[in-house]
Amino acid sequence: MPYVEKPIEKLYYSIGETAEMLNVPVSTVRFWENEFDILKPMKNKKGNRMFTPADIKNLKIIHHLLKEERMTLPGAKKRLTGKWEETEYKYEINESLQKIKDLLLDLRDNI
């Protein structure tokens, strides 16, 4: 298998970078920040939001619940409040399976 350099992870991501990762508008990230208590991005001296990798993971979980599982905002809030560990565990399994699928599709296409 060819050498693939691991992407460099930053300590903080801007709201624009975060929105691009999630493929949603910046206004959606701002809205989710106000709606979900688990999102507490740092702000720099200018007041710009700076998201950590943990914040990004939480946003991805919220995105998964709202966009892929088609939950409502109150439903997603209830799920995150009551069953955070279970929700996080299911999300991680889903991410692992998606990576495996992508790898297998890449292998198929390169054969």
The β-bridge relationship of strands 42-43 and 13-14 is unpaired
Residue pLDDT, tens place only, 32-85: 999 998 888 998 899 899 999 999 999 999 998 898 889 999 988 888 887 778
Going from the C-alpha of 98 to that of each of 5, 44, 63, 101, the distances in angstroms are 20, 34, 15, 5
Tally the C-alpha atoms within 13 A of residue 36's C-alpha that lie toward its C-beta. 29
Q: State the pLDDT confidence band at 3, using cuts at 50, 70 and 90.
A: low
Going from the C-alpha of 61 to that of each of 1, 6, 64, the distances in angstroms are 31, 23, 5
The total domain count for the chain is 1
Q: Is 93 inside a domain boundary?
A: no
Whether 22 contacts 59, CB under 8 Å: yes
Q: What angle do CA 21, 26, 31 make, to 5 degrees?
A: 115
Q: Is 101 inside a domain boundary?
A: no
Q: Write out the residue range of the structural domain in which residue 41 sits.
A: 13-82
Whether 6 contacts 15, CB under 8 Å: no
Tell me the percentage of the chain whose pLDDT exceeds 70.
Answer: 95
The burial of 34, by beta-carbon neighbours within 10 Å (0-12 exposed, 13-18 middle, 19 or more buried), is given as exposed
Structure confidence at residue 26 (pLDDT): 94
CATH number for the domain that contains residue 57: 1.10.1660.10
Structure confidence at residue 23 (pLDDT): 93
pTM, 2 dp: 0.77
